[in-house]
Amino acid sequence: MAQLVCQNLSIGYDGKAILNDLSFSVNAGDYLCILGENGSGKSTLMKTILGLQSPINGKVMTGDGLRPNEIGYLPQQTMVQKDFPASVREVVISGCHGRCGFRPFYSRKEKELADKMMEKMGVGHLSKCCYRELSGGQQQRVLLARALCATQKILLLDEPFAGLDPKVTGQLYELIDELNHRDGITIIMISHDINIALEHASHILHIGKNVFYGTKEEYVERGAWHMLVGSGGGKE
Ligand X SMILES: Nc1ncnc2c1ncn2[C@@H]1O[C@H](COP(=O)(O)OP(=O)(O)OP(=O)(O)O)[C@@H](O)[C@H]1O
Interface ranges with ligand X (CB under 6 A): 13, 18, 36, 38-44
Integer Cα distance of 112 and 45 in angstroms: 33
| Nearest to 234, CA basis, from 22, 46, 59 | 22
Looking at the Cβ atoms of 42 and 89, the one nearer to ligand X is 42
Least Å from the CB of residue 123 to ligand X? 27
Q: Closest CB to ligand X among 42 and 200?
A: 42
Q: At what angle do helices 166-181 and 136-150 cross, to 10 degrees?
A: 20
Q: Name the minimum Å distance from CB 235 to ligand X.
A: 21
Give min distance, CB of 36 to ligand X, in A. 5
Look up residue 23 and give its amino acid: S
Q: Which is nearer to ligand X, 7 or 43 (CB)?
A: 43
Nearest of 169, 152, 151 to residue 160 by alpha carbon: 169
For residues 169 and 191, which CB has a smaller minimum distance to ligand X in the complex?
Answer: 191
Q: How many CB atoms lie within 10 A of CB 176?
A: 20
Nearer to ligand X, 6 or 121 (CB): 6
Minimum distance between the CB of residue 45 and ligand X, rounded to whole angstroms? 7
Q: Which residues are within 8 A (CB) of 170 and not within 5 positions of it... i.e. 6 or more apart?
A: none
Q: How far is the CB of 189 from ligand X (least distance, A)?
A: 12
Of the pair 38, 231, the CB lying nearest ligand X is at 38
Q: What SS3 state is found at 69?
A: helix
Shortest approach of ligand X to residue 211 CB, angstroms?
Answer: 13
DSSP secondary structure string for all residues of 126-150: GTTSBGGGS-HHHHHHHHHHHHHHH
Of 42, 21, 60, nearest to 197 by C-alpha is 42
